[in-house]
Amino acid sequence: MPDGSSSHQWAKPLRIGGLELPNRLVLAPMSSVSTLSARLIAQTAGAGLVVTETLSACALVRGSERRHLQRSTVPSEDRLAVQLFGAKLETLTEACWLLSDQGVQWIDLNLGCPVPKFLRKGAGSALMRTPLEIGRIVEAMRRSFHGVLSVKMRSGWDARSRNAPEVAQIAANAGAQLITIHGRTRAQQYRGRADRQLIRRVVEAVPELPVLANGDVTEATDVLAITAETGAAGVMIGRGAIGNPWIFEGALSLAAGKPIRPPTVADRMVTLERHAELIASVARDDRERVRELRRYASAYSKGLPGGRHFRVHAMKAEDAETLVTLTRNFLADARPEAA
């Protein structure tokens, strides 16, 4: 029986394909959130792998998403998986060739997105309804891409069809090298608790592959709990890392038997400044810059005294410079109480 907890497997390196990850803690793909700045900051905080926002295979083939990808990655960014969504085998295969040409080393196939826009096209979690089609797609992607290939799925379409263990086996037989399982069905969206028993069943269904458990890891100690309950080799963290990249550092401290060091206000300040620089380096204009920065200014003020008032005020800032200055001043004032 796999048991990830006793040996802190998730803190150990993972050799996969030609790559070596320093650990198995992964920043989840999150649209509009797992941008370049968030990915680089998560890696600095200890994430062993980061995943991009999901990219449309169709748009990649047409060319538009290709420009977006080029603009939103930097050559030094390694330990990066690019997530693809799509429903058509031919389009996904062509997208794999294109990404391969661009030097991408890891592709993750999206089998989990519950958004109607994806489902109407038969992509995301809609594919969970046709497991054999998943097998054909993964096999074709495997033939056209020589890097690491993984899939990320939900537990199933709805409560009556929680077929993730079966889908995991099919994907593994077709050539997937790693499976992430978010323990909710498409019907649940983000409601209820992620089902850890189901995650364990997926771990047991594909003993030859590393499985990442995903869902509701909001604190570093949750990494211990979810691996103990599921036997997963690693953990993917989504919402728990928004505004809290230190969750990765905290989990690694736990594995090393060290106390978790909560972020100081100074940590938040340095990190926010880094976000601002990275966002400025890729944003097309000030509107885009301020839009992305608002998200982090808001996230880093959470839990600090006066945070709510700050957010109302700061969200009105119309340019990035003003927003950075307001946040800097807020954090400087919050320092004596919260550091």
Ligand X SMILES: Cc1cc2nc3c(=O)[nH]c(=O)nc-3n(C[C@H](O)[C@H](O)[C@H](O)COP(=O)(O)O)c2cc1C
Between 50 and 290, CB nearer to ligand X: 50
CB of 240 to ligand X, least distance (A): 5
Residue 235: closest CA among 52, 44, 64, 21:
21
Between 42 and 265, CB nearer to ligand X: 42
Between 33 and 167, CB nearer to ligand X: 33
Residue nearest ligand X, CB atom distance? 238
Between 138 and 265, CB nearer to ligand X: 138
> For residues 274 and 185, what is the distance between their CA atoms, to the nearest angstrom?
36
For 235-239, which contacts have Cβ atoms below 8 Å and span 24 or more sequence positions?
235/10, 235/24, 235/25, 235/26, 236/26, 236/27, 236/28, 236/51, 236/152, 236/180, 236/182, 236/212, 237/25, 237/26, 237/27, 237/28, 237/47, 238/27, 238/28, 238/30, 238/214, 239/30
113 classed as catalytic? yes
CB of 306 to ligand X, least distance (A): 26
Q: Tell me the one-letter amino acid at 125.
A: S
Task: Give the active site residue among 33, 41, 113, 323.
Answer: 113
Rounded (5°) CA angle 13-263-280 = 85
Which positions touch ligand X (CB under 6 A)? 28-31, 33, 53-54, 83, 110, 112-113, 152, 182, 214-217, 237-240
Between 53 and 267, CB nearer to ligand X: 53
Cite the beta strand spans of 49-199 per DSSP E. 49-51, 55-56, 80-85, 106-111, 148-156, 178-185
> For residues 2 and 231, what is the distance between their CA atoms, to the nearest angstrom?
5
Instruction: Give the residue numbers marked as catalytic.
Output: 113
